[in-house]
Amino acid sequence: MSTPAELYESHRELLERATRAAVERDYWSAFPESPSKSIYGEDAAPSGERAFTALLGATFPVDVPGAVGTVSTEHSPYGMELGLSYPRADPLALVAAARATIPSWRAVGPRGRAGIAVEILRRINARGFELAHAVQHTTGQAFVMAFQAGGPHAQDRALEAIAFALSAAVRMPSTSSWTKPQRGGDPLAMTKTGTVVGRGVALVIGCTTFPTWNSYPGLFASLVTGNPVIVKPHPGAVLPLAITVQVCREVLAEAGLNPDVVTLAAEEPGDGIAATLATHPDVRIVDFTGSSSFGDWLEANARQAVVYTEKAGLNTVVLDSTDDYRGLLRNLAFSLSLYSGQMCTTPQNLLIPRSGIDTDAGHRTPEEFGADLATALGKLLGDPKRAAGTLGAIVNDGVLARLAEAGGLPGVVSPSAEIADEQFPGATIRTPVVLRLAAADEKLYTREWFGPVSFLITTDDTGHSLRILTETVRAHGALTALVHSSSPSVLTAAREAALDAGVHLSENLTGGVFVNQTAAFSDLHGTGANPAATASLTDDYFVTGRFFTLQSRHHVPSTPTA
C-alpha cells in the first residue's frame, strides 16, 4: 500500500516529462503503441485473452454503491456471445456516494491526486490485451486498432490531461507571503494560502466507438482537480470503462482512500440516467462524447454544470492540386476506410472544383478523381483479411441504415461491399460508399452521415470550396479539415478559412499521417470554436473550469500590525 504522496513521488519523473512534452509538443509517448512481445512480454497477449474470456457470461466484479439488480446490454459487432452483466446504477445513490468523498479527496491535494491517476494508468496499461479484446468486442474496432486507440493512445491522452490539470492546479502557490511597505511604519505582512477545490461531482458520459479514448481526458482531468467522477458508459460499450473503473477503485482503496471517488453507472438503454445525473444539482461537471442532439440537450439543460461536449460535424477536404497524386489517393482512401469511417474525425465532404485539379499525374476532372478514388479504395480493401483489419466491424444498425440510404442515392462512384471475416464469421463488415454531389445538394451534405459515407462535391472553384468549408463548419461544426494544394497562396487562404471556420487544418497529407488521427502532446483534438465541440483535448481551457483556488489570509504573527 502506497500513500498518494508516495505515488506522486514514484511517478514524479514521468509527470515532469509529460508536462514538458505538453509544452514542447514534439512527438512523445509514455505508453508503447505496438502490441509486441518485446515490449509487453511473452505472456501478455495470451494472458490478456484469458482474462477477457474469464469475464464473459458473468456479472462484472465492481462495487457500485446503491446498485439494484444487474443490466446486460452489450452485443459484439463481431458476433461473439458476450453475456456480460453489470450492477444497475441508482443515480441518486451514486451522486450521494460521490459527494461524500469530496472533503477527503480535496485533502489529498493536486500532486497526490496526480500520483493516484498515473498509478491507475500504469495498471490499465498492464491490462492492455484484456482491454483490447473488450474494446474490439464492444466498438467493432479491429484488434490492433482496439489495442492502440483503446489502450496506449487513450492512456497518452489521459496522461496529457493529467499533466495539464496538475500544471493548472499548482500554478497558484499553496502558500505565499505578501509584504506591502507602509509609509512611516512597519510593512503590512500577510501569509496567504491557496487550496484547490474541485467544482463538485463530475460525470463522464462515454460513447460507443471510443469508450476509453474519448472518456479518459475528462475523467482524469476531473480527478486531478479534486472532483469525484461518475462514469456512465454507453450501454453498447460498458466493459472497457468497467475495467477502468475497477482499476481506479482498486488503486484508491489501496491508497487508503474511499473508492467511491470513481463509480460506474451502467443502465438499461431506456433508463435515461445520463440526463438524470447531468441535471442533478450536485453534478457540476459533465464530459460527453456522442450525438449532437444529446450534446446540445446537455448544453441547454445541464445549467448547473460546466459541460464539455464532443459531438458531430462535417469533416471537410478541399482538393485543389497536388504534386503527389498517388500519395493523396492512398492517404485519403485509408482515412475513409479506417474503422469504417466510424470516427468523429473521418472526412465526409470532399470539395473539388468543377474544372478539376492539377496533379503530378496530369489534370483530373471530378469524374476522373471519383474513379481514381474508387480504384484506390479497391486496392486498399481488395484483400478481405487486410480489409477487415482496416475496416473493423459496423458498430450498430444506425450506421448500416445510413450506408443503405446513401447507397440508394444517385451518383455513387464507389459502392459499399460486404467483406467476410475469417476469425469471426458473424462480423458485419462493409467497405465505404462515395457519392458525387453538386454544391447545391447542401441538404444532403450539411448533415453528418456518421459511418463510411462520403460525398465528392463539385464546386465552382477552390475559392468556392473554401467558402463552403467556412460556412458549413461555422454552421454545423467539424473536428478536422484537410487541404491538398501545391499553391502557397491557396494554402494561405485555406489557413485563413480554417481560422474563420474554427477548425484545425491538415495540409497535403500523403504519407503515414492521417487526418483522422491526432497525436497526444502535440495535436489538439476538436476546438470550441465551432459547433462540433465545446473544448479541445487537451488545453488549459479544458482543465481550468474543473476547480477553483480558494484563499485564506492572515497577518504574519511575528509582525503585529495593530
Applying CB under 8 A, which of residues 104, 182, 293, 423 lies at the interface with a copy of itself?
182
269 versus 281: smaller Cβ distance to a copy of itself: 281
Interface with a copy of itself by CB under 8 A: which range of 86-94, 211-219, 234-242, 551-559?
551-559
Give yes or no for residue 178 binding a copy of itself (CB under 8 A): yes
C-alpha cell, 274: 445520463
Is residue 173 near a copy of itself by the rule CB under 8 A? Answer: yes
Among 16, 81, 405, 540, binds a copy of itself (CB under 8 A): 540
By beta-carbon proximity to a copy of itself, the closer residue of 10 and 195 is 195
Comparing CB distances to a copy of itself, the nearer of 341 and 531 is 531
Least distance (Å) from a copy of itself to the CB of residue 494? 8
Chain Cα centroid distance, residue 177: 41
Q: Which stretch in 86-94, 168-176, 334-342, 418-426 sits in contact with a copy of itself by CB under 8 A?
A: 168-176
Site string for a copy of itself, 66-105 (x = CB under 8 A): -------------------------------------x--
Contact 226, 322 (CB under 8 A): no
The least distance separating a copy of itself from the CB of residue 72, rounded to whole angstroms, comes to 39
Only segment of 267-275, 295-303, 421-429, 443-451 that touches a copy of itself (CB under 8 A)? 295-303
Q: Candidates 20-28, 108-116, 138-146, 412-420: pick the segment binding a copy of itself (CB under 8 A).
A: 20-28
Binding to a copy of itself in span 31-60, by CB under 8 A:
none
Least distance between a copy of itself and beta carbon 463 (Å): 16
Least Å distance, CB 258 to a copy of itself, is: 17
Residues written for the chain: 562
The C-alpha angle 391, 220, 113, rounded to 5 degrees, equals 150
Q: Is 1 in the site for a copy of itself (CB under 8 A)?
A: no
Are 235 and 269 in contact, with CB atoms under 8 Å apart?
A: yes
Coarse DSSP helix, strand, coil percentages of the chain, rounded to the nearest 5 percent: 45, 20, 35
Tell me: does residue 172 bind a copy of itself (CB under 8 A). yes
Binding to a copy of itself by CB under 8 A, coded x per residue (else -) over 131-160, reads: ------------------------------
Half-sphere exposure of 378 (CA within 13 A, CB side): 9
Give dist(CA 494, CA 179) in Å, integer. Answer: 52
Q: Which of 238, 262, 387, 498 binds a copy of itself (CB under 8 A)?
A: 498
Return the number of the residue (88 or 284) whose C-beta is nearest a copy of itself: 284
Nearer to a copy of itself, 114 or 329 (CB): 329
C-alpha–C-alpha distance, residues 354 and 15, integer Å: 52
Q: Which stretch binds a copy of itself (CB under 8 A): 57-65, 244-252, 298-306, 433-441?
A: 298-306
Which one of 250, 368, 471, 500 is in contact with a copy of itself (CB under 8 A)? Answer: 500
Residue in 283, 346, 504, 516 binding a copy of itself, rule: CB under 8 A: 504
Instruction: Report, in Å, the least distance between residue 539 CB and a copy of itself.
Output: 6
Cβ atoms < 10 Å from Cβ of 425: 9
Helix (H) / strand (E) element for 169: namely: helix 152-169
Q: Which spans in 64-139 are helix H? A: 91-100, 102-126, 128-139
Check binding of 287 to a copy of itself (CB under 8 A): no
Residues from 198 through 237 that contact a copy of itself (CB under 8 A):
199
With binding defined as CB under 8 A, does residue 300 bind a copy of itself? yes
- How many Cβ atoms are within 10 Å of 358's Cβ, its own excluded? 17
Q: Is 197 in the site for a copy of itself (CB under 8 A)?
A: yes
Q: Which is nearer to a copy of itself, 182 or 487 (CB)?
A: 182
How far are the Cα atoms of 228, 424, 469 from residue 200, in angstroms, in the given order? 7, 44, 39
Q: Under the criterion CB under 8 A, does residue 281 sit at the interface with a copy of itself?
A: no
- List the x/- string, 322-351, binding to a copy of itself by CB under 8 A: --x-xx------------------------
In the 3-class helix/strand/coil scheme, how is 453-493 assigned residue by residue?
EEEEEEECCHHHHHHHHHHHHHHHCCCCEEEECCCHHHHHH
Euclidean distance between CA atoms 452 and 403, whole angstroms: 7
* 275 lies in the site for a copy of itself, by CB under 8 A: no
Of 17-25, 77-85, 250-258, 261-269: span binding a copy of itself (CB under 8 A): 17-25
CA–CA separation, 356 vs 284, rounded Å? 51
Helices (runs of H) and strands (runs of E) counted in the chain: 20, 21
Q: Does 405 bind a copy of itself (CB under 8 A)?
A: no
Closest distance to a copy of itself from the beta carbon of 231 (Å):
24
- The distance of closest approach from Cβ of residue 329 to a copy of itself in the complex, given in angstroms and rounded to an integer, is 11
**CB neighbour list of residue 50: distance below 8 Å, 6 or more residues apart:** none
Position 24 contacts a copy of itself (CB under 8 A)? yes
Burial class (CB in 10 A: 0-12, 13-18, 19+), 488: exposed
508-537: contacts with a copy of itself (CB under 8 A): 508-513, 519, 522-524, 527-529, 536
Q: Is residue 6 involved in binding a copy of itself (CB under 8 A)?
A: no
Q: Specify the residue, 294 or 541, whose C-beta has the smaller distance to a copy of itself.
A: 541
Helices marked H in 360-461: 366-381, 384-391, 397-407, 442-445
Q: Which of 391, 292, 405 is nearest to 335 (CA)?
A: 391
Closest alpha carbon to 242 in 267, 217, 270:
267
Q: Per rule CB under 8 A, is residue 195 in the interface with a copy of itself?
A: yes
Helices 143-150, 152-169: axis angle to 10 degrees equals 10
CA distances from 228 to 54, 108, 252, 466 (A): 30, 12, 11, 44
**Inter-axis angle of helices 216-224 and 152-169, nearest 10:** 30
Closer residue to a copy of itself, CB minimum distance, 327 or 389: 327
Structure-block grid coordinates of residue 470: 467556412
Residue 43, Cβ density class (10 Å: 0-12 exposed, 13-18 middle, ≥19 buried): exposed
